[in-house]
Chain A
Amino acid sequence: MSFRPEHELHKRRRGRNIGVGLMLGAFVVLIMALTYVKITQTDFELPANQREVTQ
Chain B
Amino acid sequence: MTDITNTPTSEYDAQLGDYFALLKPRVMSLVVFTAFVGLLAAPVSVNPIVGLCAILFIAIGGGASGALNMWWDADIDAVMRRTRGRPIPSGRVQPGEALTLGVALSGLSVMMLGLATNLLAAGMLLFTILFYAVFYTMWLKRLTPQNIVIGGAAGAFPPVIGWVAATGSFSVEAWLMFALIFMWTPPHFWALALFMRSDYDDAKVPMLTVTHGRPATRMHILIYTVLLAALAIGTAFTAIGGIFYFAVALVLNLAFLLGAWRIWKRDEVMAEADDYAEERKFFRLSLAYLFLHFGAILGEAALRTFGLGGW
B residues contacting the other copy or chain, number (CB 8 A): 16
Which 7 A/B pairs are nearest by Cβ-Cβ distance? Answer: A19-B16, A37-B49, A33-B49, A9-B9, A12-B13, A37-B47, A34-B53
Determine the residue in chain B with the shortest Cβ distance to A23: B16
Question: Is the C-beta of A30 less than 8 angstroms from some C-beta in chain B?
Answer: yes
Question: Is the C-beta of B44 less than 8 angstroms from some C-beta in chain A?
Answer: no
B16, A16: Cβ atoms under 8 Å?
Answer: yes
Question: Is the C-beta of A50 less than 8 angstroms from some C-beta in chain B?
Answer: no
A33–B49 Cα distance when bound, in Å, is: 7
A43–B156 Cα distance when bound, in Å, is: 32
By a CB distance below 8 angstroms, the chain B residues around A4 are 5
By a CB distance below 8 angstroms, the chain B residues around A49 are none
Residues of chain A whose beta carbon lies under 8 Å from any beta carbon of chain B:
4-5, 7-10, 12-13, 15-16, 19-20, 30, 33-34, 36-37, 41
Known: A4-B5, A37-B47, A41-B47. A16 touches B53 (CB 8 A): no
A7, B50: Cβ atoms under 8 Å?
Answer: no
Determine the residue in chain A with the shortest Cβ distance to B115: A34
- Residues B1-51 near A (CB distance < 8 A): 4-5, 7, 9, 13-16, 47, 49-50
Closest beta carbon of chain B to A39's beta carbon, Å: 12
A9–B8 Cα distance when bound, in Å, is: 10
Determine the residue in chain A with the shortest Cβ distance to B20: A19
User: A34's contact among B5, B14, B50, by CB below 8 Å, is which?
Assistant: B50
B50, A16: Cβ atoms under 8 Å?
Answer: no
Closest beta carbon of chain A to B165's beta carbon, Å: 13
Closest beta carbon of chain B to A51's beta carbon, Å: 22
B56, A30: Cβ atoms under 8 Å?
Answer: yes
A18–B274 Cα distance when bound, in Å, is: 49
The contact sample of 6 A-B pairs, CB cut-off 8 A, is A5-B5, A7-B4, A9-B7, A9-B13, A20-B16, A30-B56
A8–B49 Cα distance when bound, in Å, is: 41
A52–B52 Cα distance when bound, in Å, is: 35
Question: Is the C-beta of B271 less than 8 angstroms from some C-beta in chain A?
Answer: no
- Residues B115-151 near A (CB distance < 8 A): 115-116
Closest beta carbon of chain A to B94's beta carbon, Å: 15
By a CB distance below 8 angstroms, the chain A residues around B50 are 34, 37
A30–B53 Cα distance when bound, in Å, is: 8
Closest beta carbon of chain A to B76's beta carbon, Å: 28
By a CB distance below 8 angstroms, the chain A residues around B47 are 37, 41
A34, B9: Cβ atoms under 8 Å?
Answer: no
By a CB distance below 8 angstroms, the chain A residues around B52 are 30
A53–B14 Cα distance when bound, in Å, is: 52
Determine the residue in chain B with the shortest Cβ distance to A5: B5
Known: A4-B5, A7-B4, A9-B4. A34 touches B13 (CB 8 A): no
